[in-house]
Amino acid sequence: MNQTEAATREYSLDPDDWQAMRALGHRMVDDMMNYLERVRERAVWKPIPERVKTQFRQPLPIDPQGAEQAYQDFLHFVLPHPMGNIHPRFWGWVIGTGTPLGMLAEMLAAGLNPNTGGADHVANHVEVQVLNWCKEMLNYPSEASGLLVSGCSMANLVGLAVARNTKAEFDLRRLGLRASPSRMTLYGSRETHSSIHKAVELLGLGSDALREIPVNGDFQIDVSALKTSISKDRAAGFLPFCLIGNAGTVNTGAIDDLNRLADICDQERLWFHVDGAFGALAALSPQLSPLLEGMERADSLAFDMHKWMYMPYEVGCVLVREKEAHRQTFSLTPDYLSHAERGLAGGKIWFSDYGVQLSRGFRALKAWMSIKEHGIQKYGSLIQQNVDQARYLARLIEASSELQLLAPAPLNIVCFRFAHDSLGEEALNELNKELLMQLHESGVAAPSYTTIDGKYALRVAITNHRSRREDFNILVKEVIDLGEKLVSSQGTTVK
Ligand SMILES: *Cc1c(COP(=O)(O)O)cnc(C)c1O
């Protein structure tokens, strides 16, 4: 190449050799299918060796290493060290499993690579279809608006932003909260998820504005304490504006009495926001759906499809009963984004008018394809299966003299611990903490933890379509074995 040739050469990021790229793609699909098919045979989780960590402290690549090298590095350094949530014995936090078709759909979405902020193209119609299916499956009004988002944290933020702007008694968008004549307050049980706290802070309401209401023995919001708190605030000159109903709390899976809460919202003119991150999906099971009665009365409803619909990260959803309130919270259209009558900049669907993001990915595709692949009834059966597994585990715990159930398990979350007569509360907390770390390090199973009334609990949250009953037998046996070993190694068996 001479100098003028070099100066005029134009580049792109497409492969020089499409055939080689195609072959690489086929190998990736084969490797990942093998990996997923045999996930049960591997450890749930392993600590990352130091030699692997150093791979992620390399200098910025200046010259090309090539697609093949990038893939080899993925195979050697990334693939063998997963979080573990694709494994049948992962039950930590509330984390979904993903599916093979979900993985492929992500590839197709990235191949098309549309920006679903707006404009007239088919990806937006796919999202509208998915949103309509969401309304239908949760019995939510068909005229409602909605948005697919990164997850329930974002769904809660969007829902509460609409609540705040709609219920403010002044032009909040223009004047900001400092113009509020009275402090705006909102209500939720003390079991309310941290993402609601985060949203409240981000919305400038201040964390004190969220009144944390006590719960009853089933970890549901205490309705009389709630009413007292609202009237006290009114008497003190605050502006109560929103009530959060929990459809499946993160600690124990408790579902508030949503119809009662909707009645209170009607009486008190409050916005009713439901955080149904995973619990909302229990509505897909005919046996469980009565637990969620009243959810359809929410002004805004937030839930995830990457938890209890097992779709790959990320995809959550928010539905808002009043479309116009939703749009008025987020629509902001400078000239360079103005919508046209016709052509590519036409079309009626501009999702950027309904949320924080302008540029948005095609997360609707995996949802659309997954729901088509399985049909909604299958999701209901799997959700019911997970709840039945939680009940099975709770029975194993209750039948065991070494284990103790620490909270009711109404849904898919079971909190328990290893217990021993010789140990006081503090020693039991220490022992169960160590037990959980050893359990993770053994690679056998991965529950997470929480604290229930001061007691350190192993917490099993089942949003896993790969789990089988035998997996819970394995868990129980391993917890008892580890617990007994810990007790004897501490020499605390003296009664
Ligand atoms: C997981 C969860 C959230 C947050 O959802 P993300 O998808 O993690 O953003 C909110 N509320 C509850 C009850 C949850 O379990």
Centre of ligand 1 to C-alpha 277, Å, is 5
Average pLDDT, the chain: 96
pTM for this model (two decimals):
0.95
Count Cα atoms within 13 angstroms, Cβ side, for 70: 10
371 in ligand 1 pocket by Cβ < 6 Å? Answer: no
Helix segments in 269-351, DSSP class H? 323-330
| Ligand 1 atom 5, closest CA | 152
Centre of ligand 1 to C-alpha 94, Å, is 8
Tens-place pLDDT, residues 46-86: 999 999 999 999 999 999 999 999 999 999 999 999 999 99
Determine how β-strand 184-189 pairs with β-strand 90-91: unpaired
Centre of ligand 1 to C-alpha 153, Å, is 6
Tens-place pLDDT, residues 212-256: 999 999 999 999 999 999 999 999 999 999 999 999 999 999 999
- Residue 249 CA, closest ligand 1 atom number: 13
Centre of ligand 1 to C-alpha 249, Å, is 9
| Ligand 1 atom 12, closest CA | 277
What is the fold, at CATH topology level, of the domain defined by 114-374? Answer: Aspartate Aminotransferase; domain 2 (3.40.640)
Residues 6+ apart with CB under 8 A from 83: 45, 90, 95
- Alpha-carbon separation of residue 380 from 42, 115, 233 (angstroms): 28, 32, 41
Please say whether the beta carbons of 278 and 308 come within 8 A: yes
- Residue 278 CA, closest ligand 1 atom number: 15
- Residue 152 CA, closest ligand 1 atom number: 5
Q: What's 62-122 look like in SS3? A: CCCCCHHHHHHHHHHHHCCCCCCCCCCCEECCCCCCCCHHHHHHHHHHHHHCCCCCCCCCH
Centre of ligand 1 to C-alpha 171, Å, is 30
250 in ligand 1 pocket by Cβ < 6 Å? Answer: yes
Please say whether the beta carbons of 315 and 363 come within 8 A: yes
Q: Residue 381 burial (CB < 10 Å; 0-12/13-18/19+)?
A: middle
Centre of ligand 1 to C-alpha 152, Å, is 5
Residue 467: its pLDDT value, please?
A: 98
Tens-place pLDDT, residues 176-189: 999 999 999 999 99
Mean pLDDT of 360-364: 98
Query: Which CATH number is associated with domain 17-45+82-98+376-495?
Result: 3.90.1150.170
| Ligand 1 atom 14, closest CA | 277
Residue 491: its pLDDT value, please?
A: 61
494 pLDDT higher than 50 = no
- Residue 276 CA, closest ligand 1 atom number: 13
316 in ligand 1 pocket by Cβ < 6 Å? Answer: yes
152 in ligand 1 pocket by Cβ < 6 Å? Answer: yes
151 in ligand 1 pocket by Cβ < 6 Å? Answer: yes
Q: Which amino acid is at 38?
A: R
Centre of ligand 1 to C-alpha 391, Å, is 23
Centre of ligand 1 to C-alpha 134, Å, is 17
Task: Read off the pLDDT band of 393 (50, 70, 90).
Answer: very high
User: What is the spatial distance between Cα 390 and Cα 408, in angstroms, rounded to a whole number?
Assistant: 11
Centre of ligand 1 to C-alpha 443, Å, is 25
The two three-digit tokens of residue 53, written as one number? 């960590």
Determine how β-strand 455-461 pairs with β-strand 413-418: antiparallel
94 in ligand 1 pocket by Cβ < 6 Å? Answer: yes
Give the residue extent of every domain in the chain. 17-45+82-98+376-495, 114-374
| Ligand 1 atom 9, closest CA | 153
193 in ligand 1 pocket by Cβ < 6 Å? Answer: yes
Centre of ligand 1 to C-alpha 306, Å, is 10
Task: Read off the pLDDT band of 493 (50, 70, 90).
Answer: very low
